Each structure stands twice: as structure tokens, then as C-alpha cells.
């Protein structure tokens, strides 16, 4: 429900902003839409509004204000699931060519394109990218940037390009610790001049902050098939009540008679089609249009 809350609110914000664009600007985003069609979508959208996430909420008011103050010249990125303020900030940056909103793949492609353009300009440069998303995609971003820069640096006479990836954090996520040689992090001290700001994380030994210090959701990391099976085996079931809900992998069907396996795989296949062809599958478009004709869609 939390993802529906953030993503639903952001889709409403996206459509609201698009409704103020010209038909030409909207066509660049989706060539089959215009102002009238976007406006007709607004009253049809409904989403769950009572939700919160300890990780996504780290991109809240304070972080947005600090981002505007300290990184006004940086490229801003936002996943579709971040809270509205960060999403709106990235949307404004996108409108002037300085940002992107979308999936993790959209964010990665945007960063790669900006780095490649800097390489092609062949002059010394320093690019900053503010990430409005969970920390899980950092590895892929760093690997992609290293690959591009490595190719650039291997060529003689090439410019020096510095890439900075910025995670905006709440001030509550930062500890004030003293580094003492080989003894590592010691106790907090009173002298502000001697304090070192440390973002809580596993590498530093102090663990992740509940305020999102490591930008990684501890609850999502607990979800696995092994954990689910362990819980099921531990539940009391003297009357074999739970066995009535045992999954039948190949024989179970939906109320409409479709295979559960087929229905479960369908969204994944739609996403793969979109990533490969950059177009929504005709089957999905047809399903959405038929559903919208029978009642309001739910985001």
C-alpha cells in the first residue's frame, strides 16, 4: 500500500503538470496524448492516501530544502515512489533539462547519457547527480560511470571529468563521531570543531539509522521465500486450516478462468516489452482501455 500511496500521488502530480503543457510538449512524452486526453485522465485516478515508508520519507521537506540550497546546479533524479516534494523538485529540473523522473532504468540511462555528453564535449567538467531513490541502484550507477570514464581516460589528450553521486539525507541520519587512528570510531565529544559527520551504515559499524541513514529499507530486506515458509511452518494449524490455502502451482485459476502462473508473469512480460521496444504492449493498452470504459482506474 505504501508504494501505491507514493506512486499514486506522483502520477497525479505528473498528470497535473502535463495538463498545463502544450500539445506539442505532451506529444514528446507520449505521441498519442494531448491536453484534453490528459485532463480526462485526472478524475479517473484514485490511489491509497494513508501510507508512509521510513526510507522513502527521508526525501522529505528538510532534504528538499537542503538540496535546493546546496545542489541548485546539480542534475536531480527521482524514482516514481519518492514522496511528493522530491518528486516535484525533480519534475521542475526535468522541465529545464536538468533532471529525470521514472524507473531505476530511466535514472541510470539519464546519468549515462549526461556522462557521455560530457565526454563528447572533451573539456574538464564536474557533474553532480542527486539521487532521489533507494540505495540499491548505486552499484549499477557506479559501474556504468566507471566503464564510461575508463574508456575516456584510456584515450590520450582527453579532458578530466569528475562525477559526484549525491544521496540527500536528513540531518537525523548523521552521527557526530571522532576518528582516532587505528582505533576507529570512538565516543561522541563536545568540541564541534573536532567532530566528524558520519552517515550511519554497516561499514562504519554503527548500523543503519531509522531515519534512513543508509537509504536501504530493513523491512524489504527481510522479505524472502525462506522467511515466508519459516513463518508458515511456525503457525499453529491443528485443524489443517492453512493447507486449504496451499498454492497449486499449475492447476489454480483466477475467477475469470486464467492460470494463476500466467497472470503472475504477465506484468513482468509487459515491463520487458516496454524496456525492449520503448512502447507499451498492445495487449496491455487494450486491457486498460477496456477497464476504463467500465469504471475508474485505480493507480
Residue 208 predicted with pLDDT over 70: no
**Which pTM value belongs to this model?**
0.57
Q: Provide the H-helix boundaries in the chain.
A: 2-18, 23-29, 35-41, 61-70, 84-95, 104-121, 138-153, 218-222, 225-234, 260-277, 282-292
Least-confidence region, from 15-19, 111-115, 184-188, 240-244: 184-188
Residue where the block lists cell 484514485: 46
% of the chain exceeding 70 in pLDDT = 69
Query: 100-108 long-range CB contacts below 8 Å, 24 or more apart?
Result: 100/75, 100/76, 101/10, 101/14, 101/77, 103/79, 104/79, 104/133, 104/136, 104/137, 104/140, 105/275, 107/77, 107/79, 107/131, 107/133, 107/137, 107/141, 108/137, 108/140, 108/141, 108/144
- Of the pLDDT bands very low, low, confident and very high (cuts 50, 70, 90), residue 194 is very low
Residue where the block lists cell 541513514: 213
Q: Domains of the chain (ranges plus CATH)?
A: 2-166 (3.40.50.10800), 171-217 (no CATH), 224-292 (no CATH)
Distance separating alpha carbons of residues 269 and 271, to the nearest angstrom: 5
Distance separating alpha carbons of residues 77 and 95, to the nearest angstrom: 12
Adjacent-strand bridge partners of 161? 125
Span 262-271, mean pLDDT? 84
Res 150: pLDDT: 81
Residue 98 predicted with pLDDT over 90: yes
Least-confidence region, from 24-33, 49-58, 91-100, 281-290: 49-58
CA 156 centroid distance within chain: 37
Q: What is the pLDDT of residues 125-151, one digit of tens each?
A: 999 999 887 666 777 888 888 888 886
Res 115: pLDDT: 93
Res 182: pLDDT: 40
Pairing label, strands 99-102, 125-132 = unpaired
Residue 191 predicted with pLDDT over 50: no
Amino acid at each position: 500500500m505504501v508504494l501505491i500511496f507514493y506512486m499514486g500521488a506522483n502520477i497525479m502530480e505528473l498528470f497535473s503538470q502535463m495538463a498545463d503543457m502544450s500539445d506539442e510538449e505532451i506529444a514528446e512524452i507520449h505521441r498519442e496524448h494531448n491536453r484534453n486526453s490528459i485532463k480526462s485522465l485526472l478524475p479517473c485516478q484514485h490511489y491509497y492516501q494513508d501510507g508512509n515508508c521510513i526510507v522513502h520519507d527521508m526525501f522529505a521537506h528538510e532534504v528538499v530544502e537542503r538540496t535546493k540550497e546546496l545542489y541548485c546546479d546539480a542534475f536531480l533524479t527521482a524514482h516514481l515512489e519518492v514522496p511528493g516534494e522530491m518528486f516535484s523538485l525533480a519534475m521542475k529540473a526535468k522541465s529545464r533539462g536538468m533532471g529525470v523522473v521514472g524507473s531505476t532504468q530511466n535514472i541510470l540511462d539519464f546519468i549515462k547519457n549526461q556522462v557521455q555528453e560530457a565526454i563528447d564535449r572533451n573539456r574538464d567538467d564536474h557533474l553532480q547527480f542527486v539521487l532521489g531513490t533507494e540505495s540499491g541502484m548505486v552499484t549499477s550507477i557506479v559501474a556504468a560511470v566507471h566503464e564510461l570514464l575508463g574508456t575516456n581516460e584510456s584515450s590520450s589528450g582527453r579532458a578530466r571529468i569528475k562525477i559526484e553521486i549525491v544521496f540527500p539525507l536528513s540531518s537525523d541520519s548523521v552521527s557526530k563521531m571522532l576518528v582516532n587512528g587505528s582505533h576507529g570510531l570512538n565516543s561522541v565529544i563536545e568540541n564541534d570543531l573536532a567532530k566528524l559527520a558520519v552517515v550511519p551504515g554497516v561499514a562504519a559499524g554503527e548500523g543503519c539509522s531509522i531515519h534512513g541513514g543508509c537509504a536501504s529499507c530493513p523491512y524489504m530486506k527481510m522479505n524472502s521465500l525462506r522467511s515466508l515458509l519459516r513463518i508458515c511452518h511456525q503457525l499453529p494449524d491443528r485443524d489443517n486450516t492453512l493447507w486449504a490455502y496451499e498454492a497449486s502451482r499449475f492447476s489454480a485459476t483466477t475467477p475469470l478462468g486464467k492460470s494463476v502462473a500466467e497472470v503472475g508473469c504477465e506484468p513482468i512480460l509487459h515491463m520487458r516489452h516496454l524496456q525492449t521496444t520503448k512502447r507499451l504492449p498492445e495487449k496491455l493498452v487494450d486491457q486498460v482501455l477496456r477497464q476504463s470504459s467500465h469504471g475508474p482506474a485505480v493507480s
